A and B are shown apart, each in its own frame.
Chain A
Amino acid sequence: MEFRSYLIRRLFLLIPVLLGVSILIFGLLQLFPPYQRAMLYVTDPRQLSNIDEIIELYGLNAPVWQQYFTWLGQVFQGNLGWSKVVGMSVTDAIFNFLPATLELAIFSTPIIILGGIWLGTKAAAHKDGLIDHTTRAGAIVGWSLPTFWFGLVLLMIFYGYFRGLFPPERLSTAMSVLVNSASFTRYTHLNFIDGILNWEWRVVFDSLRHLVLPVITLSVVNIAFIMRLMRSSMLESLGRGYVLTARAKGLPEKQVINKHARRNAMIPVLTVSGYIFAAIVNGVVITESIFNYKGLGWWAWRTAIQLDVSSILGFALFSGVLFVLTNLVVDLLYAKFDPRVRLGGGVK
């Protein structure tokens, strides 16, 4: 019961934040001249020749608050403007590039989260031991690596030196042709899954080969982050009374750590998993731009350097809303994980 009211309260809190997000994006928009702003209202390439008409139509020289509501109305209709870089509407572009990024995220997120938690637990359980020092040193190195540089060095070695072992982009030319041919059905646009569904193992293998380096690049920094957090959270948890109780019960150390200490230590990690999502989005932009991996991040990068205002603001709005929703899910998971939040305090 209490969980439902918690959920409702939490959903209600979303409204001002989302409104604020839209105001911030709109405020940024005001820094651009009207002819660039006009791109946000374009739905069709034919309109591009009559920008002045659009400026007139949407009142882009009118008072700011009036423009805001016009724009918000457009956004609610799903119209985020025209992306001149890829020649389609921003909404279409987002859905077009999403699968590639999703594919990248599907492979790296579990590696990042499970790897970070596992390493952090190990380091804390062997505090000041060899494992601890090694993982800590590794974490500092990983945390200090410039992602973009690390990716390039990986490419220099595995693409340059090993003659194309792990190439950039999403698929090799031949596989790309195959995937786009009529005989290949694109169920999900995730090459890896579509390859399995079409029973085309060459596509699966090829897409995996192209994913290796981006996944590594994206994971290293973020694993280091979670590992550090998990380690300190585990150390705190291991010092608590319930761990002593568990030991006094006669539980083996492995169970004391994995069952009693870790479950509690996960709570702070869970609370920052929204941040981890943001870090992954950040990493996606850099990683995809290095590997020419044509996903959302790559698109955001191209649009940014070509001053494609509607696209970059559309993407910022999209990622902002997504981030807010992620934080909502995180909070609900948090409540699921911690009975103190789920059930509320007090004696009954």
Chain B
Amino acid sequence: MKNLRFLLFHFKKNPLSVIGLVIIVIFAIIAALAPVIAPTPEGQFNPYMIPRDGYGSTPQPPSDTHIFGTTQGQYDIFYGVIWGTRTAFQVGLVVIGAVLVIGIILGSLAGYFGGIIDEIIMRITDIFLAFPPLILAMAVTIALGASIESIIIAITVVSWPSYARVIRGDILAIREEDYIEASRGVGASHLRIILKHILPNSIYPIFIMASLDIGSVVLTAAALSFLGLGVPEGYADWGQMINFARNWIVGTPTNTFAYWHAITIPGLFIFFFVMGWNLLGDSLRDILDPRLARR
């Protein structure tokens, strides 16, 4: 309770974290109200596919029918970025959830039992950590075929080892605490000790830190779809919308910034989304970092 109040105190003192929170809340509202803000046209089966207005390649500037204009292939940018917010939250939340589950199970097994189990799990994480993450994610994505699920699996595959390691480390530290010894002394079972004592004490900071990684998960996912891997063409995804715009960086001879909207708008959505999490995370990390706390 005291910790929470301490956290809130710092939180209020730091205007940047408040801005971060506001940004995230706005995005959450956009995602929740996507069907209202950008209604799916009649007769379209999948709302995540961006409606297109014709098949011409040249992006069209903002107009009454397309308030953010259209990008290459006449996909509506407004619809794309609004529903893309949903995609972003989906990818971020599912990946973090999956990574936490895997990380907690493997990390606590390794940390609590130690010995050969620890050794095996840690060597496996070594192997996964032996690749630059984006490269491994690219390989996994193409192996699984183009879909949003492939991206989610690929990012989960490359991110779980670091969580497992952090959780293992925390559990190793907590395992040595006296009260764990005490409950072992009175004959509590392993599962009971892990579930009742160890996890609640290590999970709270990990949970917060993990949720703040949503920003970077979304960034990686966007990078993959920017590279043309993962989502099918026309899926409402910010990274893909930037990919659509990449051939239009040079404007017309009369107007050098003729297609600015196609590049800038989806980019700003990613940027602000990620920055919201980072602003929140930067201050929370400082507060949660015990070495820097209470200075």
Contact = CB atoms under 8 A, between A and B. Distances in A.
A binds B: yes
Interface of A: 16-17, 20-21, 23-25, 28, 31-32, 136-137, 140-141, 143-149, 152-153, 155-156, 159-161, 163, 228, 232, 235-236, 239, 277-279, 281-282, 285-286, 289-290, 300-301, 304-305, 307, 309, 312-313, 315-316, 319-320, 323-324, 327
Contact of B135 (A300, A309, A324): A300
A159 B135 contact: no
Interface in B251-286: 251, 256-257, 260, 263-264, 266-267, 270-271, 274-275, 278-279, 282, 286
Kindly state the interface size class of chain B when it binds its partner.
Answer: 35 or more
A21 B127 contact: yes
Nearest to B219: A146
Interface of B: 16, 123-124, 126-128, 130-136, 138-144, 215, 219, 222-223, 226-229, 239, 242, 245-246, 249-251, 256-257, 260, 263-264, 266-267, 270-271, 274-275, 278-279, 282, 286, 289, 291-292, 295
Contacts of B257: 156, 160-161
B263 A156 contact: yes
Contact of B242 (A20, A140, A143, A152): A152
Given A148-B226, A235-B292, A286-B226, A24 B138 contact: no
A155 B249 contact: yes
Contact of A324 (B130, B219, B271, B282): B130
Contacts of A159: 249-250
B249 A156 contact: yes
The 4 closest A-B pairs by CB, nearest first: A20-B127, A149-B267, A144-B275, A282-B134
A29 to B, nearest CB: 8
B243 to A, nearest CB: 8
A82 B279 CA distance: 46
Nearest to B215: A144
Contacts of B286: 232
Contact of A20 (B126, B144, B260): B126
SS class of chain B's interface: helix, strand, loop or mixed? helix
Given A152-B249, A156-B250, 20 more contacts: A21-B127, A24-B128, A136-B282, A144-B215, A144-B271, A144-B274, A146-B267, A148-B222, A152-B246, A153-B264, A160-B256, A236-B291, A279-B132, A286-B227, A300-B138, A304-B141, A304-B227, A305-B229, A307-B142, A320-B135
A24 B127 contact: yes
Given A20-B124, A146-B242, A149-B267, A286 B275 contact: no
Contacts of B291: 236
B36 to A, nearest CB: 27
B25 to A, nearest CB: 17
Contact of A146 (B127, B144, B223, B260): B223
B270 A160 contact: no
A212 to B, nearest CB: 16
Nearest to A281: B132
B131 A31 contact: no
16 contacts: A20-B123, A28-B140, A144-B215, A144-B271, A144-B278, A153-B264, A160-B256, A161-B257, A235-B292, A277-B132, A282-B133, A282-B135, A290-B246, A300-B135, A316-B138, A324-B130
B123 A16 contact: yes
A65 B49 CA distance: 42
A289 B292 CA distance: 40
Contact of A319 (B127, B132, B270): B132
A153 to B, nearest CB: 7
A316 B263 contact: no
A159 to B, nearest CB: 7
A314 B264 CA distance: 35
Contacts of B227: 148, 285-286, 289, 301, 304-305
Contacts of A323: 130-132
A304 B144 CA distance: 12
B131 A21 contact: yes
B156 to A, nearest CB: 15
Contacts of B16: 137, 140
B136 to A, nearest CB: 6
A228 B266 CA distance: 27
Given A143-B278, A282-B135, A304-B138, A153 B267 contact: yes
A160 B251 contact: yes
